[in-house]
Structure 1
Amino acid sequence: MAADHLLKEELHASISDPALDTMNFLNGITHRYPEAISFAPGRPYDGFFDVEEIFGHIRRYLDHLAENGHSPGEIRDAVFQYGPTHGQIRELIADSLLKDENIDVPPEAIVVTVGCQEAMLLTLRALFASRDDVLLVASPCYVGITGAARLLDIELTPVEERADGLRCADVQAAIRAERARGRRPRALYVVPDHSNPSGVTLSLEARGELLELAAREDVLLLEDSPYRMVSPGRQVPTLKSLDRDRRVVHLGSYSKTLFPGARVGFAVADQVVVDRDGSTGLLVDEITKIKSMVTVNTSALGQAAVGGMLLAADGRTADINVETSRYYGDAMQAILRELDETFPEDERTALGVRWNRPTGGFFLTMDVPFRVDNSALERSAEDYGVIWTPMSYFYPQGGGANCIRLSISYLSQSEITDGVKRLARFIRDETAARVPSQPTRKPTSC
């Protein structure tokens, strides 16, 4: 190696992972075409945020500390100093989980993290000890978990997600196939509610079957469910609230429900860990040790802001997300209505276009009769002024070549209406431009 440069092949292999490149490409497209309507980002709608409220949230939390007997010096340290690695607002989170989700765990079973992404990374690092340990994921799957696994050199085993979500028979077959190869299925990562990217929600029956399977096959379930409190209607109980055998590690975030910029998430890991000498502790304690070597602690100001918001809501985040969930629910209905009107049934059948109909969350998926790759996305952005996400980004071992993901979270209803019209022009023109002599490729279902 020359003194003035590094060889990329000598850096960690995850840097060359296509998933990292594709997300960078998507971000670049968005910046290059700022006038395009973007169905790509999964970020919350800006209209719910008020800068002045931040100060009130922090003040409320500091008042709470004073009311609970903290001295002025302790209050000062609570916002200026590093703070405990396990977090400062665990009691408030535990209270909120019980009131919102009927998840009854002690504060000591919770670690506060830098968003849910850190919760994923730390949990994977704690659980996966051998090269023979594998992580089961849905296919398609959220890129945050696949990227974290790649950084940690953890092998992934994709399980096909059906139209109604993961099926126990498919998960069980994957577990047994991995064991036949001499590997240990350690955990299954699942987004049971309005999942990213597909928008699918697991039924109550499917959740019960997954819990039974986890106990029977001795695997853990890593539950990530950030869209529940911002989706309309009554939600199916979380896996963790149904968990009687401590099979579920619940990964949480306040980025969608309260304050994205605070970057406050958490992990609930109440699994008992037994040492060789017979002493016991909780999995969360081991996760916290790792956190001390990664981020040391989660931002004290971020925790104070989120803590103040939880206090204002008396722990019931569902109550303060009534307007939010209505907004996103209306946005989802708006795009489904626009798609129905823009593509009448006879035309969508002739074109080979179809989409699913999520009941909440931020995302839906759409099949189209042509390959949707980065070059197609570039044409869509430049010539039609509309951006979307290729579903191929979300398949760990290939797939989704004829599918796109559409996000409704960041757009107004007028933008959704205009965006669907632009998307329709792109789809019709792209379909018509296919070379007649080439065989029609059957769309791969999302």
Structure 2
Amino acid sequence: MAEGAEHAADGGGASAANRAAFDRRGLRQGGPGTPGPPETAVKILGRVWSAPLVVGPLAAPARPGGELAVVRAAGAAGLPAVVGAFAERTFAELASAAEVPPWLRTYAFRDHDTERRLAAAARDAGFGAVVLALHGHEDVRVRKVAAPANLGRPGPLSDIRSLLDARADWPAVDRLRAAVDLRLLVAGVRTAADALRAVDSGADSIVVTSLDALPEIAEAVAGRCPVLLSGGVRRGADILTAVAAGADAVFAGRPVLDGLRAGGRAGVAEALAGLVRELADAMAFTGSATVADIAPGVVRTGPRPADPPPTAVARPLHKAELHAGVSDPVLDTMTFLNEITSRHPQAISFAPGRPYDGFFDSEQIFTHLRRYLNHLQEQGSSPQQVRTALYQYGPTAGQIREIIADSLRADEDIDVPAESIVVTVGAQEAMLLVLRALISGPDDVLLVSSPCYVGITGAARLLDIAVTPVEEREDGLSCADLEAVIRDERARGRRPRAFYVVPDHSNPSGTTLGPRARTELLDLAARHGILILEDSPYRLVSPGPPLPTLKSQDRARTVVHLGSFSKTVFPGARVGFVVADQPVVDAGGRTGLLADELAKIKSMVTVNTSSLSQAVVAGALLAAGGRVSELNTAASAYYGDAMRATLRELDAHLPADRREALGVRWNEPTGGFFLTLRVPFRADNAALERSAQDFGVIWTPMTYFYPGGGGLHGIRLSTSYLTPAQIAEGTGRLARFIEAESARTT
């Protein structure tokens, strides 16, 4: 096998230039188009492909069995794959494994007979085309090949470039055209003159390496042969952009190589499905019902940046050039709190909503890890399989899904198959995956119970997802209010896709959804065809029996359950999960699960969740018989005591008559980490600064948690991280601050 890709997946410098050119372009939203999903299929070089996409060029990818994995995944997707002349598998093996005839990427050899023999072998094996690049072989990035199967010579090659001509020029094209009757593609076309010369030389298609030059070249060819683009394609929107600029199809190498490295054949399949799905989404956005409908007008082009003078130093990036989400105040909340904490280290902080450190023992990590290793051995895993489970990437959807499914059945009465679970890097990644999968167009909207956890609104902002708040009342969420918002959004022409809620001891307000409200919410979701995103990390670290989860009562599969072991095992593991058992039907009528789609996205984001972290969490679950509630018996009691102590201290420092005079009030959660106070002054960042500096107490402004604005007079207190002594001292300081700030503003 080659030490790397024989042919760079995207063509080096051309790829970088095209990537920059793609980034200067954007899509224009079109009309509603025709009913139903867009049709991505095309007919090129006499064959129908599922999309205007060629897989590669790749050759001898750096993974065992990589060549077969690529051609099989491409063929299953209805797409041709390009393999290289120095492949370690025979052309016959590769062609027999492919449902769509593969293409040969070949070179101008010093020995012209080698050119002819390779092309003839590809033809005899059933290949569909050969691709020859002009101008040279700078794309050959590595020298050593272990055992090329198709050159007719044994042993490794220490420098494959020694076999090649210094450059491939027009005589090489003429020789290849005369040698074989396969479809011939001339790649590396840079100018209109090159394109016309290639057509006159008998090329059946040309491959352009510059997106900027593509329109001129396509105009010069004027439909005499298909025009393909190579280099820089990463997303479905790039495919549409290239087609709008005059391409009939594109080559995609880098996303396929990334998928191969992440998950073998399944990873390639996921990457290709993602590209085709993204193309369909881009077509729907621009109002293009078929590939033939994609016109130049659907793409907008930004200004080309001026080249810097030769002696210029690197210029700084301007924040205005970055995604607008990085300037959103939501993303600054934790930064500001961290700055306040670092400037006032002696202050008592009610800000961090994290578990109490006193429950952590370093030796527990090794105990949990050993318990999981024993479990693998008990299940019949060999020593090699045990090593692989810890040291390798592991499956994208997670390797402890069965253990999590057993735990959910034992502790939460959530009975779902393991394949409906995706193990994530904390619940935060679960939110990103779900939002990316569900929100498919500019009219889709996410509804959130407000005040709302900033993680979900921050994720939505980074993904350019519209968020509409459903304001909680003092006693919590009203389903009547939610239904009114759904109707209002639809009246505005928008499509509510999902509703995010923390039903148990929510962050930040501390409220809990009652039994009747839970039933009403499930009925409402089923009636209106929206999903509920249930995020409930505090229920199993709260005293007393919890109410049933929404997911345990979900008969219509309207609930996507977001879970986390950060509060119940330990946050440093960064292990969460999502239960997504909703059926998903593709265009061919095949049914899968939403979890499958989330795993595809995850494969392009984090590849997989840390195998070591999963092992430690699994060991903890196994030791507790799956009952996280029993694992957290002591912690739940501690957090309940901390909440009650905080409420007692507040009442002692601000008794009923005094807080009535001041206009101060607070809620009294029965569990969780948070409670909220209403104060008569603006509880903003400036007030927080004064509180930390002058009174030595830190809290969180509630304004952070209102996506639609609000919360100016609200304070969130977290009770989980402090000792009883810190709670007593901190509430006294807080009461003095409230007294002083109230007097200051009257």
Give me the TM-score of the superposition, normalised by structure 1: 0.97
- Give the C-alpha shift of residue 315 in structure 1: 0.2
Partners in 2 of 1:344 and 1:166 — Cα distance?
28
Partners in 2 of 1:325 and 1:119 — Cα distance?
25
Partners in 2 of 1:103 and 1:350 — Cα distance?
48
Q: Which residue of 2 is the match for residue 94 of structure 1? A: 405
- Give the C-alpha shift of residue 276 in structure 1: 1.2
Q: Which residue of 2 is the match for residue 154 of structure 1? A: 465
Q: What does residue range 195-214 of structure 1 map to in structure 2 within 5 Å?
A: 195-214=506-525
Partners in 2 of 1:161 and 1:75 — Cα distance?
49
Q: Which residue of 2 is the match for residue 386 of structure 1? A: 697
Q: Which residue of 2 is the match for residue 299 of structure 1? A: 610
1:327 aligns with 2:628: no
Q: Which residue of 2 is the match for residue 444 of structure 1? A: none
1:13 aligns with 2:324: yes
1:396 aligns with 2:733: no
Partners in 2 of 1:390 and 1:175 — Cα distance?
28
Q: Deviations over 1:365-407 (max 9, x none)?
A: 0011100111110110011000000000000021000110000
Q: Deviations over 1:251-279 (max 9, x none)?
A: 00000001211000000000000111110
Partners in 2 of 1:200 and 1:258 — Cα distance?
23
Partners in 2 of 1:99 and 1:44 — Cα distance?
23
Q: Which residue of 2 is the match for residue 361 of structure 1? A: 672
Q: What does residue range 5-154 of structure 1 map to in structure 2 within 5 Å?
A: 5-154=316-465
What SS is found at the alignment partner of 1:175?
helix
Q: Which residue of 2 is the match for residue 236 of structure 1? A: 547
Partners in 1 of 2:599 and 2:386 — Cα distance?
23
What SS is found at the alignment partner of 1:251?
strand
Partners in 2 of 1:116 and 1:412 — Cα distance?
27
- Give the C-alpha shift of residue 7 in structure 1: 2.0
1:54 partner letter: I
Q: Which residue of 2 is the match for residue 173 of structure 1? A: 484
1:258 aligns with 2:569: yes
Partners in 2 of 1:259 and 1:373 — Cα distance?
31
What SS is found at the alignment partner of 1:226?
coil
Runs of 4+ with >2 A deviation:
none
What SS is found at the alignment partner of 1:359?
coil
What SS is found at the alignment partner of 1:186?
strand
1:414 partner letter: A
What SS is found at the alignment partner of 2:692?
helix
State how many pairs are aligned. Answer: 435
**Residue in structure 2 matching 1:290, options 601, 604, 627:** 601
- Give the C-alpha shift of residue 56 in structure 1: 1.0
Partners in 1 of 2:655 and 2:398 — Cα distance?
53
1:187 aligns with 2:514: no
Q: Which residue of 2 is the match for residue 342 of structure 1? A: 653
Partners in 1 of 2:622 and 2:545 — Cα distance?
23
Q: Which residue of 2 is the match for residue 227 of structure 1? A: 538
Q: Which residue of 2 is the match for residue 442 of structure 1? A: none
**Residue in structure 2 matching 1:273, options 558, 563, 584:** 584
Partners in 1 of 2:533 and 2:487 — Cα distance?
19
- Give the C-alpha shift of residue 53 in structure 1: 1.2
Partners in 2 of 1:32 and 1:275 — Cα distance?
54
Specify every segment of 5 or more residues in structure 2 that has no aligned partner in the other structure, as ranges.
Answer: 1-304, 309-313
- Give the C-alpha shift of residue 30 in structure 1: 1.0
Deviates more, 1:247-256 or 1:338-347: 338-347
**Residue in structure 2 matching 1:425, options 706, 712, 736:** 736
Q: Deviations over 1:96-152 (max 9, x none)?
A: 000100000010110000000000000110111011000000111000000000011
What SS is found at the alignment partner of 1:187?
strand
- Give the C-alpha shift of residue 23 in structure 1: 2.2
- Give the C-alpha shift of residue 164 in structure 1: 2.2
1:4 aligns with 2:315: yes
Partners in 1 of 2:525 and 2:502 — Cα distance?
15
RMSD (Å), alpha carbons: 0.8
What SS is found at the alignment partner of 1:433?
helix
Partners in 2 of 1:408 and 1:102 — Cα distance?
29
1:381 partner letter: A
Higher RCO structure (Cα 8 Å, ≥6 apart): 1
- Give the C-alpha shift of residue 312 in structure 1: 0.3
Partners in 2 of 1:360 and 1:165 — Cα distance?
15
What SS is found at the alignment partner of 1:52?
helix
What SS is found at the alignment partner of 1:56?
helix
Structure with greater Cα Rg: 2
Partners in 2 of 1:165 and 1:430 — Cα distance?
28
1:264 partner letter: V
**Residue in structure 1 matching 2:681, options 370, 391, 394:** 370
Give me the TM-score of the superposition, normalised by structure 2: 0.58
Q: Which residue of 1 is the match for residue 86 of structure 2? A: none
Q: Deviations over 1:75-110 (max 9, x none)?
A: 001000000001010010000000100000010110
Partners in 1 of 2:618 and 2:655 — Cα distance?
48
Partners in 2 of 1:6 and 1:419 — Cα distance?
42
2:379 partner letter: N
2:348 partner letter: I
Q: Which residue of 2 is the match for residue 409 of structure 1? A: 720
- Give the C-alpha shift of residue 68 in structure 1: 0.5
- Give the C-alpha shift of residue 19 in structure 1: 1.1
Specify every segment of 5 or more residues in structure 1 that has no aligned partner in the other structure, as ranges.
Answer: 437-446
Percent identical pairs in the alignment equals 71
What SS is found at the alignment partner of 1:235?
coil
Q: Deviations over 1:175-219 (max 9, x none)?
A: 000000000000000000000000000001000000000000000
- Give the C-alpha shift of residue 22 in structure 1: 2.6
Partners in 1 of 2:317 and 2:696 — Cα distance?
39
Q: Deviations over 1:296-343 (max 9, x none)?
A: 000001000000000100101111111000000000000011111111
Q: Which residue of 1 is the match for residue 53 of structure 2? A: none
